[in-house]
Chain A
Amino acid sequence: MHESIRHRLEDLLSAGSSVGGHSSPDGHLASCSECSSEVAVMQSQGVLLRSLRASEELEPPPGFYARVMQRIEEAGVRSVWTAFAESRFGVRLAYASLTIAIILGSYVVSAERRDGHLRGQTIVAQDVDYAAPVTGDLAHQRDAVLENIALRQQGTAR
């Protein structure tokens, strides 16, 4: 749109709406199709916008003020967290926190997996000394060997 029209646009639109058409005595508009079409569309939109005007001034039903105060009281006693959750900032912050938690969580899991901590192997600390020397007479040695075998079987059974 050319500057001369742009500068007088509001006057043109007001004049156009009052006469009900988008023709203008302005010489530029008559010769410039770009400006005239843009002004025409803006005038049409002006008509649409004016359709949002309420046909009459509405009065609220009786007791409106009391209901407003009731709402204020209800809003006042709500917890800080509710207000936080209802605000756009709060919701965004919650989403951001969740995203960070997911990212950190997946990093920790991948790092632990890389280190082999998540392979499902059970490491049992045992203080059984299998290599204890078997000494003494034959009967005693046989008992010691049997005891070692029994302990080993218990260990593998666990």
Chain B
Amino acid sequence: MSGLTATLPFPATTGGATRAKTRLDHRTTEEAALVRRVQAHDEIAFREVVERYQAKVFSIIYGILRNRNDAEDIAQQVFAKIYFSIGHFDFRSSLLTWIYKITVNECYDYLRKKRVRKLVYESDFSADETHRIVNSEPATDQAPSVDERLAQHDLILKLLSKISEEDRSLILLKEVEGHSVEELSEMTGMNENTIKVKLFRARQKLVKAAQRLEKGPLTPPSI
């Protein structure tokens, strides 16, 4: 952790005293008590976890895969995984952060297995298309067509596959879930500077991945 900030220093935050808040201790929350009950094989507690997070998990999966049929299958897998591995949950992060990471990983495992990404990853995008999508203006009055949205969706999934699981979860929590750096710090148990460094690096990797796609072997021969 310190190594990260040492290699990529951020200026010290002004007013460090005000920033130095008491970090949320995930071991003492109401959620932690629920987790401990699940760890003690309390099935009612596990049911509560499922009911509390099922809508969230479904939404995350649907957001990534855009397929309701697959969403249930993967959601079941996510909760089964939670059931079997909650014993290893160490309270360093919030339960939601942990579940979020498992969910995103399951989605990517699914994509890997089904080779869904291959449909667009290596074949369908020309360099021009990639360039146009990546460098498109962030907001335009004209809504993109369905095809364009699908292409954008596939492209961002592919770019996200190029970064680590941790970076992927973090950047999705920031951009998709809309959490602030401060909230992410509370959720993950990392300090804000570390979050900023990790987000910056993840964004840089995404930019580089997009550039590689543009320059990739798929570039059509120039005429």
B-binding residues in A (CB < 8 A): 3-4, 6-7, 9-10, 14, 16-17, 20-22, 38, 40-54, 56-61, 64-65, 67-68, 71-72, 75
B34 proximity list for chain A (CB < 8 A): none
State how many angstroms separate the Cβ of B114 from the closest Cβ of chain A: 16
State whether the Cβ of B210 lies closer than 8 Å to any Cβ in chain A.
Answer: yes
Instruction: Give Cα distance in the complex from A132 to B193, angstroms.
Output: 99
Known: A10-B199, A49-B156. 9 other contacts (CB 8 A): A3-B9, A3-B10, A40-B135, A48-B133, A48-B159, A51-B152, A52-B172, A59-B55, A65-B54
Q: A58-B55, A60-B58 are in contact. Are A9 and B138 (CB under 8 A)?
A: no
Instruction: Give Cα distance in the complex from A61 to B55, angstroms.
Output: 10
Q: List 27 A-B contacts (CB under 8 A).
A: A4-B11, A7-B11, A7-B196, A9-B199, A9-B200, A10-B196, A16-B138, A17-B139, A21-B137, A21-B139, A44-B136, A45-B159, A48-B133, A49-B176, A51-B149, A51-B152, A52-B153, A52-B175, A53-B176, A53-B177, A54-B63, A57-B55, A57-B56, A58-B55, A65-B50, A71-B76, A72-B84
A22 proximity list for chain B (CB < 8 A): 138
State whether the Cβ of B23 lies closer than 8 Å to any Cβ in chain A.
Answer: no
State how many angstroms separate the Cβ of B191 from the closest Cβ of chain A: 14
A58 proximity list for chain B (CB < 8 A): 55, 58-59, 62, 68, 71
Instruction: Give Cα distance in the complex from A56 to B59, angstroms.
Output: 7
State whether the Cβ of B47 lies closer than 8 Å to any Cβ in chain A.
Answer: yes
State how many angstroms separate the Cβ of A142 from the closest Cβ of chain B: 85
A-binding residues in B (CB < 8 A): 9-11, 47, 50-51, 54-56, 58-60, 62-64, 68, 71-72, 75-77, 79-80, 83-84, 133-139, 149, 152-153, 155-157, 159-160, 171-172, 174-177, 180-181, 196, 199-200, 203, 206-207, 210
| Cross-interface CB contact of A64 among B9, B54, B157, B172, cutoff 8 Å | B54
A48 touches B152 (CB 8 A): yes
B11 touches A60 (CB 8 A): no
B171 touches A53 (CB 8 A): no
| Cross-interface CB contact of A52 among B50, B64, B139, cutoff 8 Å | B64
B175 touches A68 (CB 8 A): no
A53 touches B80 (CB 8 A): no
| Cross-interface CB contact of A75 among B54, B63, B84, B160, cutoff 8 Å | B84
| Cross-interface CB contact of B58 among A10, A16, A45, A59, cutoff 8 Å | A59
Q: A60-B54, A64-B54 are in contact. Are A21 and B138 (CB under 8 A)?
A: yes
A72 proximity list for chain B (CB < 8 A): 79-80, 83-84
Instruction: Give Cα distance in the complex from A66 to B83, angstroms.
Output: 14
| Cross-interface CB contact of B76 among A40, A42, A67, cutoff 8 Å | A67
A45 proximity list for chain B (CB < 8 A): 134, 156, 159, 203, 206-207, 210
A47 proximity list for chain B (CB < 8 A): 136, 138-139
Q: A51-B149, A54-B60 are in contact. Are A38 and B133 (CB under 8 A)?
A: no
Q: A65-B50, A67-B76, A72-B83 are in contact. Are A46 and B138 (CB under 8 A)?
A: yes
Instruction: Give Cα distance in the complex from A142 to B175, angstroms.
Output: 107
Instruction: Give Cα distance in the complex from A51 to B11, angstroms.
Output: 32
Q: Which residue of B lies closest to A56 (CB)?
A: B59
State how many angstroms separate the Cβ of B63 from the closest Cβ of chain A: 4
